[in-house]
Chain A
Amino acid sequence: MAVETPPRVTPGTPPTAAKAGTEQPWKERWGGLFFVAPFLLLFVLFMLWPIVSGLWNSFFNTSLAGVKHEFLGLQNWRDLFGDPAVWSSLKNTLVFTAMSTPPLVIIALVMALLANRKGLLGWLLRFSYFAPFVLPATVVTLIWVWIYQPGFGLVNGLLTAGGFAEIDWLNTENRAMLAVVITTVWWTVGFNFLLYLAALQGIPAQVYEAAAIDGANGRQQLFRITLPLLSRTTGLIVVLQLVASLKIFDQIYLMTTGGPNHATRPIIMYIYETGFTSYRIGYASAISYLFFAIIVIVAVAQFKLFSGRGEAE
C-alpha cells in the first residue's frame, strides 16, 4: 500500500510542473486571474464604484442631474444627526424589525416541525408554507391591500360578521405597521421554514431511536434533543432575518407609501425620497452610509456571537 501510492502521484506531477516551468511561467502565475476577471469587472463597476462614489458624493451638494457640485465637507453628515426624519424613519425600521423577527423565527420553526413528514401530505404542507415566498412583492401587496380593505375586504368582512368594529388597517397610525408585519410574515416565513426543515432532516434518525429506547417521550425528545440540536440553525436564521428585516422597503412603499403621516416610513424609503423625489443625492448618500453602518454592526456583532459559540461547542 505505502509503496503503491507514491508512484501513482509522481507520473502526474512532473509533466505539468515542467511544462509550466519552461513554457508558460506567466500564464501559470497570472492565468487564474482570467477566471476571476469577469466577476471582478462587474463587481468593481456595479458595487465598488457606487460605494466609493456614494461616499464621495456625501461630501458634496449634489443634485440628481449632477449640476450643482459644491463641496460641503461634513455638512451633510451634520445635517443627518439633526434631521428628525432620519431618526423617525430609523425608528420605524427598528420597530418593524423587532415586530417581525420573533414571529418569522418561531412560526418557521413550528412549520418545520409540522411539515417534516414524507408523502403527499408533506409535499402539500411544504408547498403551502413556502408558496407565498415565490410571489413578487407587488402581487403580495395587491392581495393584502384588498384583504385589509374597509367595507368589503376579507379581514373587515370577518370582523363585522363576528360583531366587531371595522378597522381601517392601512390608514390608522398604530395599526398600519402591524398590518405590514402580518403581510411580511405570511410572505417570507417560508424561507426560514425551509432552513429549519433542512436542519431537521439533517438530524440522524438514530438519535431519536436511541432516545426512544431510553424511554424519552415525544415532548422530551422535542425539548431535549430537537430544539438544542437546532440552536445553531436558529442563530443563523435570526441573523439572516434581522438583516433582511432592516432592509424593509418594498411592502411598506407599496402598501402605505410610508403613511399614515410617515408612521411606517422606513429608512430606505427616506433615502429613496431624498434622492429621487427631493434630488438631494449628496444627502441621500450620507443617510445610505448611516444605514450601511448599522447593517455592518449587526452582521459583525452576530458573527462575533457565532464564532464565540462555535468555540464553546
Chain B
Amino acid sequence: MNLPLLFRDELNGFYRSKVMLVLWIGLPALSMILYVAEPKTGIPAAVFTSLLVGSIGGTIASAMLAISIISERERHVYDLFVIRPVRRRDILLSKFFAVYLCVVMAGILALGLGLLADYEFTGLAKGISYQNLESAMILLLSSLAISCSAGILIGVYSPSVLVGVILVLYGGNQASAVAILPALIYESYYWFPLVPGVAVSALLLVGAILIFNARQL
C-alpha cells in the first residue's frame, strides 16, 4: 500500500507550486476585492468568497491536474513508478487527494476571510447561520471534488495538453455545476449536494482508473 507515501509526495509537490500560491493567497484576495467592488448582492462575504473559490479554484485545480498528468504521461514519468510494486490507481488517487486537500484549504481560507469581513465590515454576520456556513462548505467540498476528479479523468484520457485544457474549460468546469443544482432545487436539504458530489467524483475517478489501468504506458 503505497498511497500514503505517494500522497505525501504529491502534496509536497503541489503545495509548493506557483499555482497553489495563486489559490491560497491570490484567489481569496481576489474574491474579497470582487466582493468589495460589488457589495450590493446581499450575499454574505463568506458565502460569496467560497462560491467563487469553488468555481474558479475548481477550474484551476482541474486544469492543473489534467496538464500535470498529460505532461507526465507524455514524458513517461510513470514508467519508473509502475515497474515497482505500485498500483496504478494509487498514482491517480494520490494526485486527486493532494490537489483536493490544497484547494479545500484555499476554500477554507477564503471562507474564513469572508467571515472576518462579515463580522468586521459588512454587518451581514448576523445573517449567517451555522446552517448557511455548513451549506456553503458542503457546496464547496462537492464542487471541488467533482472538478478535481474531472481533471484526473481528462488528464488520463486526453491525447495532448491542448485537448486537455479545452476539455477542462468546456467539460470539467461545467461538471461541478452538478453539485450546485441540487442545492438550488432542494434548498431545505443543505447536505444534498454531497450526494452528487460523492457519486459523480467516484464515477469519474473509477473511469480514470480503468482507462489508466488499460493503457500501455
A and B together in one complex = no
